[in-house]
Amino acid sequence: MTRLRADNPQGARQALAERFRAWSGSEFDLSRCPVRGVLDRLGDKWTTLIVIALSQRPHRFSEVCRAVPDISKRMLTQTLRDLERDGLIARRVFPTKPPTVEYRLTELGESLLEPLVTLIAWAEGSQTRIAAARSAFDAASAAA
């Protein structure tokens, strides 16, 4: 099995082709697609912002809460737990009073930063064209 490589523009399509054929084989099971799980997590409302915050340095619970605008404690707790469960962040409790809890990226979590930056770079570089496409599409829809 060829290792996926993204350092070659032309290779992207073919890398995907191979992956796609593997996934599309008989008895395709979505739950066995590793990308699915990752993208589902990254796509949720808060994961990315939390990972970015923690990429700078470890944060305490309330620090993350302040760093990520508008997140509720409920969702923060839940997202942190999911990330911890996936091994992307580590939770450390200091037996102080009142309690101190620190969250930091694990090595695995750090390894996500690179693909994340790649995606962010694409998003930033494409946002103008996306916005233009939206305007054009909406204008065409309205005209119809």
Partner DNA sequence: CAGAATCCAATAGGATACTG
Partner DNA sequence: CAGTATCCTATTGGATTCTG
Site residues (CB under 8 A) for a second copy? 3-6, 9, 11-13, 15-17, 19-20, 24, 28, 30, 34-45, 48, 52-53, 55-56, 67, 69-70, 84-88, 108, 110-124, 126-127, 129-130, 132-134, 136-138
Peptide bond connecting 98 to the previous residue in cis, omega within 30 degrees of 0: yes
Distance in Å, CB of 26 to DNA, minimum: 20
What DSSP character marks residue 6?
-
Distance in Å, CB of 50 to a second copy, minimum: 11
Compare residues 15 and 58 and give the one whose CB is closer to DNA. 58
**Buried b / exposed e along 48-86 (16+ C-beta atoms within 10 A):** bbbbebbeeeebebeebbeebeebeeeebeebbebbeeb
Binding at 104: pick from a second copy, DNA, none (beta carbon under 5-8 Å per type): none
Contacts with DNA by CB under 7 A lie at 44-45, 60-63, 70-75, 77, 80-81, 91, 98-101
3-state secondary structure of 79: helix
